[in-house]
Amino acid sequence: MRIHGEYIIKRRTDCNGKFSKYSDQLCRNYLKEDFFNICGYCGKPMELLKARAQIDHFIPKDFAPSKENDYSNLVYSCQKCNRGKWHHWPTQCVEYSYNEKEGFVDPATKEFDLHLERLDSGEIIGITEVGRYMVEKMRLDIRPISIMWKVDVLNRKLEKIANIIKRLPEEPNLIELYRGYIDASEQLKHSLNVLYNQNESM
């Protein structure tokens, strides 16, 4: 399955001149909306994290200083992925971001799905040499990515159950549904505690 699930990430093209620096709050708001508040690289929902989302320069500033505030070069990212990618840029140029064996693929392009995929377990794997390079650099294979994905799936189920309970009248059979909701909530809290202990939520 896709790393981003049902979300199709696409940067807006009408924001030039609307902010002066990539660190401006308006730019951050645009990225949060365009990336659906998930990490562009691992698909982690930012709402589950303790730390604030970071803004990654897809082409590092060292290689493309003129693109520092270029919206088309910015990626909404979690701290783990941003630090993993950091200043790595194996092609050493701005014309292309990867070669036959290594490099990075812009998560806001269709090409991204050709290099990485998510297994049913929630794990992320590279399906090309470039994809495997990205997995290694951002340590996607040894981080508890699958747990975070399962937490997000469980959280979505809880939201659906809560909405059903709100719409239905008070009936005895709702007690069983409510107990299921409480049980799922406890599982979610336990999973989140595991993530916090492993620092993936930072």
68 with 167, same domain: the answer is no
Range of the domain at 55: 25-137
154 with 120, same domain: the answer is no
Residue with tokens 């406890």: 186
69 with 164, same domain: the answer is no
128 with 179, same domain: the answer is no
State the Cα torsion 107-111-117-122 to the nearest 10°: 20
Asked if residue 202 lies in contact with residue 79, where contact means CB atoms within 8 angstroms, the answer is yes
d(CA 142, CA 135): 9
Who has greater pLDDT, 117 or 159?
117
Asked if residue 56 lies in contact with residue 77, where contact means CB atoms within 8 angstroms, the answer is yes
Helix or strand or coil: residue 116? Answer: strand
Least confident of 82-96, 111-125, 182-196: 182-196
Predicted confidence (pLDDT) at residue 105 exceeds the cutoff of 80: yes
Tell me, what DSSP letter sits at residue 96?
A: -
Is 118 a domain residue?
yes
The pLDDT of residue 197 is: 64
33 with 126, same domain: the answer is yes
149 with 91, same domain: the answer is no
Name the band, by pLDDT with cuts 50, 70 and 90, for residue 194.
Answer: confident
Asked if residue 134 lies in contact with residue 105, where contact means CB atoms within 8 angstroms, the answer is yes
The pLDDT tens digits for 133-150 are 999 999 999 888 888 888
The pLDDT of residue 102 is: 97
Is 202 a domain residue?
no
